[in-house]
Structure 1
Amino acid sequence: MDFKDSIKQFTERVEKLKVNICTEEATKNAFIMPFINTLGYDVFNPLEVVPEMVCDIGTKKGEKIDYAIMKDGTPILLIECKHWAQDLNLHDNQLLRYFNVSKAKFGLLTNGIIYRFYTDLIEPNIMDEKPFLEIDITDIKESQIEELKKFHKSYFDVENILSSASELKYTGELKNIIAKEFAAPSPEFVKYFAKQVYDGMITAKLLDQFTALTKKSISGYINDLIAERLKSALKSEEAQAESSAEDTSEADMTEAKINTTNEELEAFMIIKSICREKIDVSRLFYRDAQNYFSILLDDNNRKYICRMYFNTSNKYVATIDENKKEVKHLIENLNDLYKYSNEYFKAIDMYDKKELSL
């Protein structure tokens, strides 16, 4: 089972059990420990997970953090747990105190449903007041699964997480601010736009009028944007349908000349094995042509991950760069396909990000 499937299975568990969880200890046993296990750590191995780790704070001795995930004898992630129904805003100071006296670079405050990840972006060794990543496990997004995967034992790398932490923190905060302003524009927000279309003084009466106009304009713009995206998607589907019809007529003429070899099928299985850690492999398909063997995302000719050129004296695997240009790589045998894993992943990210932006 890949990481994405494990998280989905864990989500189903939380939804099913939460109404029966009555205490903080039960939350730990039913939610937190399985979550840690999903991240690849053995909760019963003290070399990997230490429960109730002592964190002396100044003159206060014997203070304990609920869990500490360890690596090479050093804590790398401190976890403070609360009952699933508790408001985490009431408890972040407690984690902050533990973090500041620990060598851990990351802290996690959770009630088993909401997971808030912290680090020290603003001041070294002092935990930030706001998390750089917050996840509702019952409503987790695809992009959040990828960020959460970075904390998995197999992929954990401090620098890799920190490189995206700053962007995650500020984009998350900006999204929240934008959402609030769109729902209930503040006077400052309204004045900013009003002054660009109205030359006079913005009185209280005018401010009320422009508040209503601003909300209406935001709603109209979003509706227009959605309509344009839908229109673009429909055009793309129509073009794809026409292209498929043309491809079908051409395929009737060339099908007899195409011979899918065992080597090409084996290459397809290798690419599926590589991409399994990135996506659900049910999204991968292949199509054979006279000159090359394509491996596609979502069975879409316009979303090929790589192509095999095995019908010549030299064998090549072709990947696609950020400009959607094909780049051929000479290979000696099928094992060489593993060398270009990052190129396959970049192609998948490029196609998926494009769809998210629509």
Structure 2
Amino acid sequence: MDNRPFLEFDITKIKENTVKEIEKFHKSKLDISTIVDNASNLKYTREVKNLIGQELASSSPEFIKLFASKTYNGRLTSKVMDEFTEIVGKAFNQIISEKVNERLNAALNKEQEKQQEENKDQPPLSKIITTNEEMEAYQIVLAILGRKVDKSRIVQRDTQSYFGILLDNNNRKPICRLHLNTGVKYISLFDREKNEIREKIETVDDIYSFEDQLLRTIDYYHSELQIL
């Protein structure tokens, strides 16, 4: 071993691979023979990295000649060497840029894959938003029908197309459908054969004017039960 250090670092800018080397000096992991074996490897690795860094910053004639002699068939004149100094510098900058981009893209792809995997475990966001106006309309229908049936049997079910109100939470027993999220507001009522009848309304308070029709709809379903 000579006097040249085999490991140097700035404690304010310490790198992950340096931390791994320092950990080997902890008393719980200390192995002198392993440290001696690694010291030579670390020393020459550091010196090679320093030389590469110097060549990238300011390439020596020998470094340029190494590449020029392998790619240029003619005589390596001063002019040719000057041209290859620029070519080699540009080539190395492109390689570094490409490698950096590859690492960045790999990290981004990994993060996207992780995000996609996490999203699989999450329920899809509902596109249905129940508005205050729709809930106000539901309360009006409850007030009307609560005189004839238990209010717990009157169930609201919002969809992307309309706000529905059912008897006994049964799709086959629609009481009415409200279309309140469009320019023109409607209430859909149902006759004995369950034909849908649309009526235009200005506000949800207009629902009170269809009290008789709503109560008759409940009667239709009760009469069906009696027949059965």
- TM-score, normalising length: structure 1: 0.32
- Which structure is higher in helix share? 2
Higher RCO (C-alpha 8 Å, min separation 6): 2
Q: Which has the larger radius of gyration?
A: 2
- Which structure is higher in strand share? 1
- TM-score, normalising length: structure 2: 0.50
